[in-house]
Amino acid sequence: MNGRLHSEEDLVIPADLLNPFVHRLELSTTYEKIKTGIFTVAVLPFRVLAIMLLLIMAWILACVGLMGLTEQELRARPMTGWRRKLTPLICLLGKSTYQAGGMAITVKGRQATRREAPILVVAPHSTFLDASITYVTGFPSIIVRRESGLNPFIGKLINYTQPVYVWREDPNSRQNTIKEIIDRATSDLDWPQVLIFPEGTCTNRSCLITFKSGAFYPGVPIQPVCIRYPNKLDTVTWTWEGPGALKLLWLTLTQVHSACEIEFLPVYHPSDEEKKDHKLYANNVRQLMAKALGVPVSDYTYDDCRIMTRAKQMNLPYASELVEVQKLRTKLGLSQVNIEEKLLMDSPYALRSSISYKEFAQYLGVSPTEPALQQLFKLYDKDCTGVIDFREYLLGVLVVSKASNMEEFLELAFKIYDHSGKGLMSMSDLTQALQHTLHIPTEDIQQVFQLLDMEGRGYITYNEFKNYIQQKPEYASLFSGNNSRKAPHTKRKESTDSVLRDCKPKAE
């Protein structure tokens, strides 16, 4: 996406668009590779052992502190007496796990008391290692899925924070969660502060995405808290597209030194207008924190993450850019007229694979001088060749808006990659359609095609392919009537429970 777009009209392209859900991490130098290899053997085992011992000690203390308490009692009133006095010791052990892993935590500013600010708002949220904030702030109550609290090991530490649970199976979960946050924040009892990551998901810290409103409904003063990781090699960022949790943990534990900075900003007191408008309150706090962090704000939301996840599960090309594609289409008015669907329905045979920017503008019926259209074209012209594969654009746009399950996705892909426009798929057409859906290796696709085209016609139909693949156990479930969107050969980054959260959506 870097560089300049070359086309017939020699377009000038605006600055690259931010994508906060992508993180690239590779050991690019020989020094980094050698150092990582040496530390993996000589240092990693000892760091892991020390971390496990410290966590086990913290878990034992949590188990002792929770003895005799039911879940109802934990939710009804704050812990007191000797149970409360165990909290600083658990936090000390928690902070020690980061020191044992080679990470130094620096704290700037002063944490407000609960009386000054019942709620702590933390951003940006970029990694499971953000769990350090719970130890630094004295085990405040966190927002967490009920399933996480049932974990026999990490669940004890989570429950010790007296969290606000999100009950996914409860249709009223969102309303109940908001109500509990308000009750905690406005209670006269000595509850711990409530800690919330208002972004609701992990980003790469390039910007602050839209804040959810949960922390701002009570209308009470909040304290913004900023987290930074000022490291030369970013081994902590855990986004929807990038390294998995285990790789990040391995690379972090094999660094000589890692740093985390936590800055407590002054308490923010909402105005009367902000108390009445929680979205205004959230946006103003986001602007304040973005200024302190020196990053822009962006109107991405967690719903955008779900679009990306769906696109990745379906093996769509340019999955990480589809959120921005949808925003640019809306800006250009394409979402309202559904021009892409009309193109596919009315004249699929006229749609060519490689098209120039001028042809792209003509297809969509938009003026070539529109900056948003230039940006949209650039998202697909990564190599700055001046041409894009229009079928890849159509597939991404139409699957996100139309396909509710894998069967519909396959049918749509077959129609898009059918050069004849008559439902007759050549070997080349079938290969491209299946590589962007089921991720089947080329040689396997060729074998399937030959089996279905015994007469040497040079083409097969969608129904022939569907009837064949329904007989295969590994693919039959795609046509069983369920709405599973996951292709058999694609891999999805699964979440890992942490003391803080699992990078899954939280109630507002």
Residues 342 and 271 in one domain: no
| Spatial contact of 254 and 40, defined as CB atoms under 8 Å apart | yes
Same domain, 52 and 71: yes
Model confidence, pTM: 0.68
Residue 55 lies in a domain: yes
* Residue at 496 is within a domain: no
Q: Output the 3-class SS for 250-314.
A: HHHHCCCCEEEEEEECCCECCCHHHHHCHHHHHHHHHHHHHHHHCCCECCCCHHHHHHHHHHHHC
User: Domain check: are 320 and 208 in the same one?
Assistant: no
Is 428 contained in some domain?
yes
The tokens for 53 are: 């011992």
Coil/strand/helix, residue 388: strand
Q: For residue 243, what are the contacts with CB-CB under 8 A and spacing of at least 6?
A: 23, 25, 251
Per-block mean pLDDT, blocks of 10 residues, the chain (508 long): 35 46 87 93 96 96 94 90 95 96 96 97 96 95 84 88 82 85 94 94 91 94 97 92 91 95 97 95 96 90 66 62 80 81 71 83 91 90 86 80 69 81 83 76 85 88 84 64 41 33 34
Q: If residue 461 lies in a helix (H) or strand (E), which one and from where to where?
A: strand 460-461
* 394-407 pLDDT per residue, tens: 887 887 766 656 67
Name the domain count of the chain. Answer: 2
User: Do the beta carbons of residue 466 and residue 409 sit within 8 Å?
Assistant: no
The verdict on 206 and 110 lying in the same domain is yes
Q: What sign does the dihedral 418-424-428-434 (CA atoms) show? A: positive
Cα–Cα distances (Å) from 270 to 186, 263, 365, 409, in that order, read: 15, 20, 46, 47
Q: Evaluate whether 363 touches 380 at the Cβ level (below 8 Å).
A: no
Torsional sign, CA 325, 327, 328, 333:
positive
Which CATH number goes with the domain that contains 327? 1.10.238.10
Residue 131 falls within a domain, yes or no?
A: yes
Residue 251 lies in a domain: yes
Helix (H) or strand (E) holding 145: strand 141-145
Per-residue pLDDT of 244-255, as tens digits, reads 999 999 999 999
Kindly state the tokens that stand for 424.
């007759």
Q: E strand or H helix at 177, and its extent?
A: helix 173-186
Residues 184 and 234 in one domain: yes
Structural contact between residues 468 and 448, judged by C-beta atoms closer than 8 angstroms:
yes
Domain limits for position 430: 305-479
Q: Are residues 414 and 474 in the same domain?
A: yes
